[in-house]
Chain A
Amino acid sequence: MSTTETAVRPRSAAAPRPGPRRAERIGRPAAAFLAPFLVLYLLFIIGPALYGLVMSFFNTSLVHPGLGSFAGLSNYADALGSADFWSSLWHTIWFTVLTTPPLIVLAFVFALLADRAPRGRWFFRLAFFMPFILPSAVVALIWFFLYTPGLGLIEVGLAKFGLAAPVWLGDPTWAMPALAITTIWWTLGFNFVLYLAGMQEIPRELYEASSIDGASPWQQIRRVTVPLLGRTTTLVAVLQVIASLKVFDQMYLITQGGPNFATRSILQYIYDEGFTNYRTGYAAALSMLFFVIVLAVSAIWFSIVRRQEKEV
Chain B
Amino acid sequence: MTSNLSRRAVLKGVAGLGAGVTLAGCSAPVLSGLGTGGAAAGSLAYWNLFGGGDGVRMTQMLDAFRAAHPDIDLKAVTLAWGNPYYTKLSLATLGQKPPDVAIAHLTRMKTLVAADLLEELRPEDLARFGITPDKLDRTAWENGLVQGRAYAVPLDTHPFVMFYNTDVCERAGLLDSAGHLVELNSEEAFLDAMRRAREVTGASGGVVSINADTATPWRVFQSLYSQLGGQVLADGGRRVVIDDAKATQVLTFLRKWTADGLFPAAADYQGAIAAFAEGRAGFYFQGEWEISTFQTAKMPFSMTLFPNIYGGGRYAVQADSHTLVIPKRPHRDAARLDRSLLLIRSFLEQSDTWAAGGHVPAWVPFRDSAAYQAMTPQSSYAAAAQGAVYDPDGWYSGSGSNFEIVTGSAISTVLGGQQSPADALAQMRAQLTNLANTASPI
Cβ contacts B401-433/A at 8 Å (1 or 0 each):
110010001101100101100000001000100
* Chain A, range 55-85, C-beta contacts under 8 Å to B: 59, 61-65, 82-84
Q: Is A162 an interface residue (CB 8 A)?
A: no
Q: Out of B91, B211, B427, which one reaches A170, CB within 8 Å?
A: B211
Give a binary string over B70-96; 1 marks a CB under 8 Å from any A CB, 0 the rest: 000000000000011001001100100
- Chain B nearest Cβ from A178, distance in angstroms: 11
Beta-carbon nearest neighbor of A150 in chain B? B271
Contacts of A171 in B (CB 8 A): 266, 416, 418
- How far, in whole Å, are A82 and B267 apart by their CA atoms in the complex? 31
Q: Flag if A61 contacts B442 (CB, 8 Å).
A: yes
Return chain A residues, CB-CB under 8 Å to B1. Answer: none
Q: Is A258 an interface position by the 8 A CB rule?
A: yes
How far is A276 from B438 in the complex, measured between Cα atoms in Å? 14
Of all chain A residues, the one with the shortest Cβ separation from B441 is A61
Q: Which of B52-69 contact A (CB under 8 A)?
A: none
A90 within 8 A of B: no
* A275→B87 contact, CB < 8 A: yes
B264, B409, B441: which contacts A277 (Cβ < 8 A)? B441
Among A116-159, those with CB < 8 Å from B are 144, 148-151
Are B94 and A150 in contact, with the CB atoms below 8 A? Answer: no
Contact residue among B271, B410, B418 (Cβ-Cβ distance under 8 Å from A149) = B271
A259-B418, A272-B402 given; A278·B264 CB < 8 A: no
Cα A151 to Cα B274 with chains together (Å): 9
**Would you call B146 an interface residue if the criterion is a C-beta within 8 Å of the partner chain's C-beta atoms?**
no
What's the nearest-Cβ distance from chain B to residue A223, in Å? 47
Q: Is the interface of A mostly helix, strand, loop or mixed?
A: loop
Cβ-defined partner of A260 (8 Å) among B271, B401, B413, B434: B413
Q: Would you call A63 and B94 a contact (CB within 8 A)?
A: yes
Interface string of B270-297 (1 = CB under 8 A from A): 1100110000000000000000000000
Residues of A within 8 A of B402 (CB): 272, 276-277
Q: Let me know if B212 and A256 touch, CB within 8 A.
A: yes
Minimum CB distance partner of B424 in chain A: A260
Q: How far is the CB of A102 from chain B (nearest CB, A)?
A: 24
A59 CA to B275 CA, complexed, in Å: 47
User: Which A residue sits closest to B117, measured CB to CB?
Assistant: A63
Interface size of B by CB at 8 A reads 41
> Which residue in chain A gives the minimum CB-CB distance to B415?
A170
Contact A256 B214 (CB under 8 A): yes
Question: Which B residues, 257 to 272, have Cβ-Cβ distances below 8 Å to chain A?
Answer: 264-268, 270-271
Q: Which residues of B contact A277 (CB under 8 A)?
A: 395-396, 402, 438, 441
CB-defined contacts of B213 to chain A, threshold 8 Å: 258
Complex: A245 Cα to B268 Cα, angstroms: 27
Given contacts A63-B117, A260-B413, contact A169 B418 (CB under 8 A): no
Residue of B nearest to A279 (CB): B441
Within 8 A of A (CB), among B91-140: 91, 94, 115, 117
Any B CB within 8 A of the CB of A261: yes
Is B439's CB within 8 Å of the partner chain A? yes
Given known A63-B441, A148-B270, A151-B271, contact A261–B409 (CB-CB < 8 A): yes
Judged by a CB distance under 8 angstroms, whether A230 is at the interface is: no
Q: Are B418 and A63 in contact (CB under 8 A)?
A: no
Contact A254 B396 (CB under 8 A): no
Nearest B-chain residue to A145, judged by Cβ: B270
Q: How far is the CB of B414 from chain A (nearest CB, A)?
A: 10
The residue that B275 contacts in the complex, of A150, A255, A279, with Cβ under 8 A, is A150
CA distance A256 to B418 in the complex (A): 18
Given A65-B94, A256-B214, also A148-B441 (CB < 8 A): no
> Are A169 and B90 CB-contacts (below 8 A) given A59-B441, A260-B410, A275-B83?
no
- State in angstroms the CA–CA spacing of A255 and B211 once bound together: 8
Q: Are B87 and A62 in contact, CB atoms less than 8 angstroms apart? A: yes
Contact of A177 with B by CB under 8 A = no
What is the CB-to-nearest-CB distance from A166 to chain B, in angstroms, rounded to a whole number? 9
Q: Sample 8 A-B pairs with CB under 8 A, ordered by A number.
A: A63-B442, A84-B431, A149-B268, A150-B275, A171-B266, A259-B212, A260-B409, A278-B90
In the complex, besides A84-B434, A170-B268, 9 extra interface pairs with C-beta distance below 8 angstroms are: A144-B268, A149-B271, A150-B266, A167-B266, A170-B210, A170-B266, A256-B405, A259-B413, A280-B441
* Top 5 A-B residue pairs of the complex, sorted by shortest distance between their CB atoms: A170-B211, A149-B266, A61-B441, A63-B115, A167-B266
Interface residue ranges, B against A (CB under 8 Å)? 83-84, 87, 90-91, 94, 115, 117, 210-214, 264-268, 270-271, 274-275, 395-396, 401-402, 405, 409-410, 412-413, 416, 418-419, 427, 431, 434, 438-439, 441-442
Chain A residues in contact with chain B, CB under 8 A? Answer: 59, 61-65, 82-84, 144, 148-151, 167, 169-172, 254-261, 272, 275-281
